[in-house]
Amino acid sequence: MFTSMSFSSPPSSRAAASAACFSPALLVAAVLLARSTCYIMPPVSPSPTLAMKAPKRPNGASSKSFIMSSVTEFYRSQIGGESVINYAYTDFPWRLLAKDVYYFFAYCWALPWVLFPIRTYGSDELDELYPSWMNMYCLAVHIFLFIFQLIYLVTLPLIVIFPAWMGIAGIVAFHFLNRFVCMLLNGTDIIFHSDEKYAKSRPEHESEQWVFLNGVSVGEHWMKMNLNRLALTFGRPILGIHNRTSGVIFDVIECLIQRNFSYATGDIRVCYRHLKDILYDPKKSKVVFIMHSQGAIEGGMVLDWLLQEMPQDLLAKLEVYTFGSAANHFNNPHRHVISQDLTRSRPLEAMQTLVSEAAYETPVTTPLEVKKDPMITASMLRRSSSLASYHTASAAKDRAIGHIEHYTHNTDFVAIWGILHFATNKMACLQLPRFLGRLFNRSNGHGGHLLVQHYLDGMFPLKRDPETGEFTGADEENEFMEEVIKFGVEGTAMENAREAFEISYGGTGGFGTGEITTPIEVYDQFSSRKRHKKDVKVKELSRLWMYRNGLNPPETSQVFPAELVGIARNFSI
């Protein structure tokens, strides 16, 4: 097997509302341990805005109009490299746990926004808190589990005053009853599919597979509603891998164990097995992986395993999107160091430099065969060689995983405790968290954590048929997608750690300049002449938006010689 790699460049470049019981001693220890490292944020004031300072009210603006104003902060993806030292998940597990406990209480002002606003039903019965019988049933079971588990944790220390056999019997009885009640929510299946009435298979989507991994407190019913809402929004059938709930409190404890001890629970192992099988399927040229909440913790661990084991030309088929991520890291390394260096130092040249790889399979002969047949020569072997695989990509997009995007609300407690704490570096610390992927942080002051009722209804609202009142798909007139982006402000340590804006803009089908300003100067794609100046909206940077209603994003042109047959990277064949 002979592998060749080439770099071609032009001569010049063109410009969860939950509670847990901790003793005072543990809390004090957590605070002291968390403050012993530079990975610390200043005390958080009880404000509904974490990722940005509240803007001053314009003169003459009413209080109501000012509160309803919305800003979306955009954080470009990190580049990676030697400057990023990720102690966010490679530090000592007990120290990570202590930090998580400390920040749980530091950010507890945002706990009500896990469920608020409550009375917004943009998707009717698909919303988690819509007053339907099944939703009310799920809420009632969760309330029972919350109270039941809270009483258990509070009374657990009292076990020392009882005989050992009584304590053991009580613990076994509690877990048996807790498991039985959770089965009422979870059912027996772990693999789900969206209903056909929300999205049917289309011939143009046969080479795609969409996978969803849910977050905390989601049972069988809410899992189906999540899948149906995603199918209706993007016009494709969705396969769901169920992250089963154990109740709100136990789900939070499970998050702490997964995030700080890198422990792979059964849900993670099942997801890894299924996602690996899908990536190895030669009929699938694109795999879209959507995660929510705790699902991003589990999905991030699955991606770590895939990066260790999978061939990278298979990983290139993968695209990842998260909502309200609770993860503390996301990895997506460059495939070649030259791509990483160009992305950091010369972004425009990185966009126009093609990285090509080809693997040739040649016949293998032994010395005995050559001795018997002198006509076998190296030149004949070279002429008889055949191409096994081939792909080419822009150096700016030369990463193991095709694309990663994150969506958050700046009042979502889980996102604040998760991705917004680790991906947006405001600590001016040299030990930068490693969190790959572009980030859209909506700062409208009233965004919650629920996938359908808060994220999808707010960012990907549905449109109704004016005659029948039935949902027809994603609404093209979308307030969130029409918002002008604002660059997130971070510490000086991140100035050179993120990709240039032109790479972010070009990665979704457009082309930007080297000036990272607001408004952005957008140039004609085929000349250096300035065409016009305009603000950049969310929809111009959101690749996920380009999949709405069965559509596909424009792909970067790549040249494949006609005689070459291989794996097309970033293509939907």
d(Cα 260, Cα 101) in Å, to the nearest integer?
11
CA angle 16, 17, 22 (to 5 degrees): 95
pLDDT of residue 358: 72
Q: Does residue 397 surpass a pLDDT of 90?
A: no
Q: Does residue 168 surpass a pLDDT of 50?
A: yes
User: How is residue 491 written in tokens?
Assistant: 């510490």
Q: What is the DSSP string of 127-192?
A: STTSS-HHHHHHHHHHHHHHHHHHHHHHHGGGGGGS-HHHHHHHHHHHHHHHHHHHHHHH-S-SEE
Q: In this structure, is the dihedral angle defined by the CA atoms of residues 495, 499, 502 and 507, taken in order, positive or negative?
A: negative
pTM, rounded to two decimals: 0.81
User: How is residue 388 written in tokens?
Assistant: 């096994």
Give the mean pLDDT of 40-68. Answer: 37
The secondary structure of residue 119, as a DSSP letter, is: S
Strand partners, 74: 440, 487
d(Cα 540, Cα 504) in Å, to the nearest integer?
10
**pLDDT confidence bin for 60, thresholds 50/70/90:** very low
Strand partners, 354: 8, 394
Exposure string of 304-323, with b = 16+ CB inside 10 Å and e = fewer, is bbbeeebebbbbbbbbbbbb
pLDDT of residue 471: 96
Task: Kindly report which listed range (376-385, 439-448, 500-509) carries the lowest average pLDDT score.
Answer: 376-385
pLDDT of residue 335: 87
Place of tokens 């993007």: 234
* Dihedral pair phi/psi, residue 440, rounded to 5°: -110, 115
d(Cα 231, Cα 258) in Å, to the nearest integer?
29
433 prior amide bond cis, ω within 30: no
Local structure of 210: helix, strand or coil: strand
**pLDDT confidence bin for 119, thresholds 50/70/90:** confident
564 contacts 387 by C-beta, under 8 angstroms: yes
Give the mean pLDDT of 334-360. Answer: 78
d(Cα 202, Cα 439) in Å, to the nearest integer?
30
Strand partners, 459: none
* Contacts with 308 (C-beta within 8 Å, 6 or more apart), sequence order: none
What's the mean pLDDT when you consider all of the chain?
78
Strands 485-487 and 71-75: parallel
Q: Does residue 11 surpass a pLDDT of 90?
A: no
d(Cα 181, Cα 217) in Å, to the nearest integer?
13
Q: Does residue 128 surpass a pLDDT of 50?
A: yes
Strands 471-474 and 462-464: antiparallel
Place of tokens 């059964």: 266
Element (H, E) at 221: helix 220-234
pLDDT of residue 237: 98
| Tens-digit pLDDT profile for residues 413-436 | 999 999 999 887 654 455 566 789
Query: Which among 226, 400, 413, 250 is positioned nearest to 330, based on CA atoms?
Result: 400
d(Cα 1, Cα 343) in Å, to the nearest integer?
30
**pLDDT confidence bin for 560, thresholds 50/70/90:** very low
Q: Does residue 284 surpass a pLDDT of 70?
A: yes
Strands 354-361 and 191-193: unpaired
548 contacts 512 by C-beta, under 8 angstroms: no
pLDDT of residue 16: 39
Strands 191-193 and 239-241: antiparallel
